[in-house]
Each structure stands twice: as C-alpha cells, then as structure tokens.
Amino acid sequence: MSFANSHQIVTNQPGVHEKLADIVEKHLKHAFQKPYQQHSIDGFKQVELEVQRSGKPIIFDSCCGVGDSTINLAKMYPNHLVIGMDKSGHRLNKNEAYEQHGIDNFMLLRTDLNDFWRLALDAQMLPEKHFILYPNPWPKAKHVQRRWHGAAVFPSLVALGGELEMRSNWRLYLEEFSAALAITNHSSEVAQFVPQPCITPFERKYQASGQPLFKLNASLSVNT
Ligand SMILES: C[S@@+](CC[C@H](N)C(=O)[O-])C[C@H]1O[C@@H](n2cnc3c(N)ncnc32)[C@H](O)[C@@H]1O
C-alpha cells in the first residue's frame, strides 16, 4: 500500500510541455515591455545603494520566502552581499538577524521579480551567483507560462548571468527549465541531491516528508 506524501506534486503533464519551445522562442523574440511598478523602482534604488555601500560581489536569492535561505547563504558566503527577494512580506529584519546570527552581509526586499530582474539587467547589477530555491511549481499543464521558464521575463533572468542554482521537489520543473536554457545556448545539469543541511523552510518540509529533492546548476555567463 502506498500513501501520497503531503506537498507531493500532482500533475497532468507526462513530460516537458509540448509548447515549451514555442513559448520560449516567442519571449526571446519579443522584449517584455510591461511598465515597472513604482514600488519596484523604489526598492531597486535601495538595493543599488546597499550594493554600492558594501562594495562586495552580489548573490541573488530570488523567491526567498521568509528569508531563512538568505541568512544561511550570507553565512556561507561572508564575502558576498546576499540579496533576498520575494513578493510576499518578509518577517525577518536585518537588525534581528544581526543580533541572532552576527551577520549583516545581506538584505531582504519585497519586490516582484518580473520587475526586479529587468531593472537589475538594465543597470547591469549582475549576480555572481543566483539561487532560486523551490519556485512555485504550477504543476497544471495550462499554467506553464507561470513557471519561470515559461514567463516573459525568462530572457532577462538568463541574461543576468552568474552561477545559477535552482532547487525543486519536482524534477520535471527543472528538466523543463534546462530545456528552455538549451534554447538560449546554455547547458545545465539536473541531479537528485540530499541537502546537508536544509536551508529553506520548504526544503525542510519536503525532506521531512521523505520526498526526493532535485537541483539544477548552470553557468549562465558561459554560452555553449
Ligand atoms: C514555494 S515558495 C518557496 C519559498 C522559499 N524559497 C523556501 O524554499 O522556503 C515560492 C516563493 O516564491 C515567491 N514568488 C512567486 N512569484 C514571485 C514573484 N513574481 N516575485 C517575487 N517572489 C515571487 C512566493 O511569494 C513564495 O514565497
């Protein structure tokens, strides 16, 4: 007898989405021109000031949720400034984290990445490393354009460059992302892994329920 694990992916998609290539090609041909929201511009300016002040190379922690991974990455990479971004409100602030962990090489920003990534690219604020940990999977086939590789902002995400690491409990999400990257002439590797230790709340939750976890790695500054 088998039991479905909680949070396990349920999808009606048997393999890479049949329209993936068409969607990616369309986004590569037509620049994403949705106007920026004013609060995205204001938030971006705060980040620019912090990047200039710190003088450190930067790491993006996109879709950081409550910011636990941002703190963990800041500890792992003390010589970088880690910028955690999420469209939902964050609960940690820098002072609390500084008091708890003795680190201040990070910042958290509430922003929509559909704007932020384009603003960063326009300003050539490029990350050395880019983490996207457990993005929303949108497992129904009809929602493929809500996945990052099906989104209009995908070409900007790729153009930001850096060492990309994306993690998911849904292997197909990463395989699709990898197929989309191949269309932009970037190779990537997808592998099952065991996080040691877990660095995000979703990662902890998935691991506790015994689900296999996967990661994708790509050097986006190198074309193949
Ligand atoms: C499944 S949660 C993962 C959170 C965290 N990385 C973790 O592993 O615990 C996905 C996160 O992506 C964020 N997100 C989705 N679309 C976004 C967007 N357009 N801009 C910024 N954040 C977004 C959501 O708010 C949510 O916090």
pLDDT tens-digit series, residues 152-198: 999 999 999 999 999 999 999 999 999 999 999 999 999 999 999 99
Provide the 8-state DSSP code for 30.
Answer: S
Burial string for 201-213 (b: 16+ CB within 10 Å, else e) reads: ebbeebbeeebeb
Contact residues of ligand 1, CB 6 A cut-off: 63-65, 69, 85-88, 112-114, 133-136, 200-203
pLDDT in the model for residue 4: 44
List of the chain residues with pLDDT < 70: 1-7, 90-93, 222
pLDDT in the model for residue 13: 87
Strand, helix or coil for residue 95: helix
Measured in Å, residue 2 CA sits from the centre of ligand 1 at 30
Measured in Å, residue 88 CA sits from the centre of ligand 1 at 8
User: In this structure, which residue's CA is closest to atom 13 in ligand 1?
Assistant: 63
Q: Could you tell me the pTM of the whole model?
A: 0.95
**Average pLDDT over the chain, rounded to whole?**
93
**Among the listed residues 123, 103, 129, the one whose alpha carbon sits nearest the alpha carbon of residue 52:** 123
* C-alpha to C-alpha distance for 130 and 196, rounded to whole angstroms: 19
pLDDT in the model for residue 171: 97
Task: Identify the burial level of 164 via C-beta atoms within 10 angstroms of its C-beta, where 0-12 means exposed, 13-18 middle and 19 or more buried.
Answer: buried
* Closest-lying ligand 1 atom to the alpha carbon of residue 137: 1
User: In this structure, which residue's CA is closest to atom 14 in ligand 1?
Assistant: 63
Measured in Å, residue 136 CA sits from the centre of ligand 1 at 6
pLDDT in the model for residue 89: 72
**Among the listed residues 119, 4, 106, the one whose alpha carbon sits nearest the alpha carbon of residue 54:** 106
Strand, helix or coil for residue 191: strand
* Closest-lying ligand 1 atom to the alpha carbon of residue 201: 9
Q: How far is CA 38 from the centre of its chain?
A: 22
**Residue 198: CB atoms within 10 Å:** 18
* Closest-lying ligand 1 atom to the alpha carbon of residue 203: 8
